[in-house]
Structure 1
């Protein structure tokens, strides 16, 4: 049975110089363009791609889902298959990548058909797969087992969300005492703390971890096994995706029950804002939109608005405010505020909703569109080209989120000259300047949202010149990855210094 290592030190040892060279290995369940259910896939791709472009060796590990195998049939193994022990089971796995020149970053896939050759990523028909703990334990173990063969410089294992949170746990238990693994640093990023991987206590035995970990100081959480909590306990550092959300997670109201764990980490837990791929999201070069435009020449924005109104059978009304929402249709996104209390029915303007999600929200929005077909449109067949056309054409973005760790849409929207109407939470508070590049409100009520919508409508109803001044302010904000990548590099070096060998 593996021994239980002590949690990582709070900071590097005195006098230990952080390494100049390092390699980053991202462990993530989703990575664009291979698999995506939300912002996780795009956020990790963004930071990994920027890091690689800066010259850092970067590898991404993700499971080989059926959808990936079908979309990329030319994947090839990088070595012979090998065996991985998961609890009492021994499984055979392969590691695959694209043939030909190595991608930068290098993307590797853990191939185990029994675990990953399925219709869904996490489950089917709205229900999670019962063996998800085993599936993701195997994925984490396979990546860690082969890592020493892939890098000859100090390695940072950067795990993302609960699906990869077992990596720091296994690194400091199962692989403890192995020189190569002891020198690795572990960083855990929490993109959405609302999903924690809660499991039965017996899962510890099934995945090969000691029962001693089922303790409130380690992985026990109100009678459940909490995989995300385990990652926090054993990671050298943890990050979340915006500075404001890091503050929220340390509170009883915003910490999803883990606020004590975040507080206990002290300065080992911090918020680093996500960024946007400025080559993909650039209205001056975007091939998906009806006309390109820039902060220096906004003429194409009006062309895009007319094209979007025609696409969704709305009246071509240039001076009518056009609102849009592109998001998963789930409670987190604040849909209850929109469909309860009648803000959509009373607000002036046109509305387009793009996204799919819970049936109750899709049904409620379709009913509203049925009553007001001339000004409300709903499209549950999301595609990325549609999202580009939506952001290019709308005037205002709806993001009345219950919580929003970071959010990418509000940043992309501003780059496309769209002012968000959003709740002052998480990354929305960090990236929107109230009454300058958008409109923020505090209370989670339809009335608070309606006041913000009124402020937005009043500004839009004024002079076009005044409105365009705000549009230009939004379009010229810097939402790239450069600053955030520098902060991650600092975290990596501090984490590695804690595991540097003695002289």
Structure 2
């Protein structure tokens, strides 16, 4: 069995700010089912630390700076059948707010230390500080774990480990950039601060550390793997990604259907399925009542579950909101983020009571109810590495309306006449990122809604799509085996 240490900053259901947590929570079980031996390494945030059971101390972790203490613990977390390592460093992780910032969203000034230590802890496990288990592969997720690849490269040069590294890019736009003077806190050899290292236009980039030092690079959809090699979506790293294209591939994220299936979702008003879709109407009525919308079965209900950022294409929704309202539609939004977008959606809800509802924050139960009660999920992202919203929408029969980009392009089939006839249409897709193209997709959604027999066919095709983690896990195992030397170690 291939021994894999998965390193991430978030872990569903204990700690979630976005799709990274869903991936980190679902992948270990899929890897185990595919024949790997996975374990997890996560920071000791309060939600993680309080949930850890059967814990035992593994080893202290020496800090690259003078003050504080840290140690590796091993134990169990609810919902996971594999052992979990927790980096216990109260001075760094025992704080309010989300994993990256305080209660009002301001990033912690010592984030470079917090996540450098996570990478250093991964390297210590690769070096064998736990005598009972040593990974062959360290799989680091996104910039927070990027320095694991750099620290393990340093361990290679000192002949302390033979472990190989895989780095997964979940969103290249978030790079973990820090001032150059903070490099001395990272515990890396001085030579690592270089163009052929972690230096990025006079700063330190944790994302670049992962891309440069990893033995293999993956990202979360095939189309995004191609897009990030272009200047338009490469975020300044496209040259490096083209240089490393031979070790880069896109592996589409999966869905944990134990969590995201209307057939056995306890958060929703009534269970339903592709074979028995009747319960969806009850879920729509319940959602309209919960959110203060008019209870109208014949009004198509559009849902948004998203961080409120420019990336998500939400200005298009606001610019064309009158089109949606005038055509008789309703809109429910769950999310928080950019203050301007929050204010504009709040103003829209005030202008259109009964037709627009807005809820803030992360409410997992309400998110499930929005998928179950909505007829359409809006995902008009400017760019989208994979996207899970559209996959959850498919599962719940909320037809995704998406921009043809990244993982959205890989997963949604437009409702064209040809695809309607073939029974392959699953949503609405627009190509150019502008409000006119978005409006045309919106009109197609209303046109299909007016022909409920066809709507039911497309909804059934959507609900029969399957994007499980089993295929993704097999592909990840293939990546692991490619980087492990012949004969193993």
Q: 1:499 deviation in Å? A: 9.2
Query: Within the alignment, does 1:453 sit opposite 2:442 as a pair?
Result: yes
* Other-structure match for 1:429: 409
Q: Which runs of 5+ in 1 are unaligned?
A: 1-20
1:276 aligned counterpart, secondary structure:
coil
Q: 1:153 deviation in Å? A: 6.6
Query: Within the alignment, does 1:354 sit opposite 2:305 as a pair?
Result: no
Q: 1:242 deviation in Å? A: 0.3
Q: Deviations over 1:293-344 (max 9, x none)?
A: 1111111111111111111222222121111011111221111112235444
Matched ranges for 1:150-161 at <5 A: 152=133, 155-161=136-142
Query: Within the alignment, does 1:214 sit opposite 2:203 as a pair?
Result: no
Q: 1:85 deviation in Å? A: 3.8
Distance (whole Å) between structure 1 residues aligned to residue 132 and residue 252 of structure 2: 28
Query: Within the alignment, does 1:170 sit opposite 2:147 as a pair?
Result: no
Q: Deviations over 1:146-182 (max 9, x none)?
A: 3422665761100011111001111111453335x1x
Query: Within the alignment, does 1:286 sit opposite 2:275 as a pair?
Result: no
Q: 1:292 deviation in Å? A: 1.2
Which fold has the larger relative contact order, with Cα–Cα distance below 8 Å and residues 6 or more apart in sequence? 1
Among 344, 351, 357, the residue aligned to 1:371: 351
* Other-structure match for 1:443: 432
* Contact 2:36/2:477 (8 A) holds in 1: no
Report the aligned-residue RMSD. Answer: 2.1
Q: Deviations over 1:351-385 (max 9, x none)?
A: 11112222221111111111111211111143211
1:79 aligned counterpart, secondary structure:
strand
Among 390, 405, 417, the residue aligned to 2:385: 405
1:127 aligned counterpart, secondary structure:
coil
Distance (whole Å) between structure 2 residues aligned to residue 228 and residue 200 of structure 1: 14
* Contact 2:324/2:442 (8 A) holds in 1: no
* Other-structure match for 1:420: 400
1:497 aligned counterpart, secondary structure:
coil
Q: Deviations over 1:169-214 (max 9, x none)?
A: 11111453335x1x21100000011111111122222222233333
* Contact 1:22/1:153 (8 A) holds in 2: no
* Other-structure match for 2:93: 116
Q: 1:103 deviation in Å? A: 4.4
Distance 1:201 1:499, change over 3 A: farther
Matched ranges for 1:320-399 at <5 A: 320-340=299-319, 342=321, 343-399=323-379
Among 287, 290, 301, the residue aligned to 2:280: 301
* Contact 1:168/1:235 (8 A) holds in 2: yes
Q: 1:52 deviation in Å? A: 2.2
1:329 aligned counterpart, secondary structure:
coil
Distance (whole Å) between structure 2 residues aligned to residue 397 and residue 195 of structure 1: 25
* Contact 2:299/2:330 (8 A) holds in 1: yes
Distance (whole Å) between structure 1 residues aligned to residue 250 and residue 273 of structure 2: 31
* Contact 2:61/2:72 (8 A) holds in 1: no
Query: Within the alignment, does 1:24 sit opposite 2:4 as a pair?
Result: yes
Q: Which runs of 5+ in 2 are unaligned?
A: 416-424
Q: 1:57 deviation in Å? A: 1.6
* Contact 1:65/1:118 (8 A) holds in 2: yes
Among 73, 91, 97, the residue aligned to 1:96: 73
Q: 1:390 deviation in Å? A: 1.0
Among 483, 499, 503, the residue aligned to 2:471: 483
1:479 aligned counterpart, secondary structure:
coil
* Other-structure match for 2:203: 224
Q: Deviations over 1:99-139 (max 9, x none)?
A: 69994222221001111111131122222111111111112
* Other-structure match for 2:22: 42
Q: 1:446 deviation in Å? A: 1.7
Among 257, 272, 292, the residue aligned to 2:236: 257
TM-score (norm 2): 0.92
Distance (whole Å) between structure 2 residues aligned to residue 293 and residue 328 of structure 1: 28
Range moving further from structure 2, 374-383 or 23-32? 374-383
* Contact 2:20/2:170 (8 A) holds in 1: yes
* Other-structure match for 2:43: 63
TM-score (norm 1): 0.90
* Contact 1:356/1:380 (8 A) holds in 2: yes
Q: Deviations over 1:385-405 (max 9, x none)?
A: 111111111110000111110
* Other-structure match for 2:457: 469
* Contact 1:84/1:142 (8 A) holds in 2: no
Distance (whole Å) between structure 2 residues aligned to residue 80 and residue 62 of structure 1: 14
Q: Deviations over 1:2-23 (max 9, x none)?
A: xxxxxxxxxxxxxxxxxxx211
* Other-structure match for 1:33: 13
Range moving further from structure 2, 215-224 or 481-490? 215-224
Distance 1:381 1:258, change over 3 A: closer
Among 175, 184, 190, the residue aligned to 1:196: 175
